[in-house]
């Protein structure tokens, strides 16, 4: 298994494998009211994807799923175990992604986020993402549907 980077406090970023999917899915179920199904994790392990996990003290804490096509990337999923949220780990995951994509000469990073997910929107805005469009009623929710904010960060 490839280790991409190590950081202080025993943080290790490494490649996601098929064997990680059950643990990733458990984090997703705990963190998201509308989680990805297992099949989404399985189908996101092809060569077009740039995915990695965050491990601290041998415990899988978070992950990123990103697809790269030519010089553009789309962030599909970034998630931190709820027991470890609020510690800046989402910021660490996003910071690493941006640095790695820049090194790969990716010029744009795109994402969609629920309009109600103000914590994520705030994080993305702190990194320089801008909302470039709104997809009305894109996500299902308890009230029926909610908008998606389409956001972009220009890397180069």
Q: Which residue has the tokens 């963190």?
A: 31
Containing H/E element for 119? helix 118-126
CA 3/CA 66 separation, integer angstroms: 17
Residue 49 annotated to the active site: no
Find how far residue 48's CA is from the centre of its chain.
15
C-alpha span between 52 and 102 (Å, rounded):
16
CB atoms within 10 A of CB 84: 17
Q: For tokens 């510690």, name the residue.
A: 87
Q: Is 108 a catalytic residue?
A: no
Instruction: Exactly one of 15, 74, 108, 112 is catalytic; name it.
Output: 112
- Active-site residue set: 112, 124
């Amino acid at each position: 298994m490839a280790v991409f980077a190590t950081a202080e406090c025993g943080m290790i970023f490494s490649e996601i494998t098929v064997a990680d999917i059950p643990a990733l899915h458990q984090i997703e179920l705990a963190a998201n009211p509308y989680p990805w199904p297992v099949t989404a994790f399985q189908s996101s392990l092809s060569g077009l994807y740039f995915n990695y996990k965050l491990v601290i003290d041998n415990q899988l804490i978070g992950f990123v799923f990103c697809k790269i096509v030519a010089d553009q990337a789309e962030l599909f999923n970034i998630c931190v175990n709820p027991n470890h949220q609020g510690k800046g780990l989402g910021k660490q995951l996003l910071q690493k992604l941006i640095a790695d994509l820049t090194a790969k000469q990716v010029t744009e990073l795109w994402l969609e986020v629920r309009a109600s997910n103000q914590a994520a929107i705030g994080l993305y805005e702190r990194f320089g993402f801008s909302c470039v469009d709104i997809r009305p009623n894109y996500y299902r929710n308890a009230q029926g549907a909610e908008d998606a904010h389409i956001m972009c960060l220009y890397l180069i």
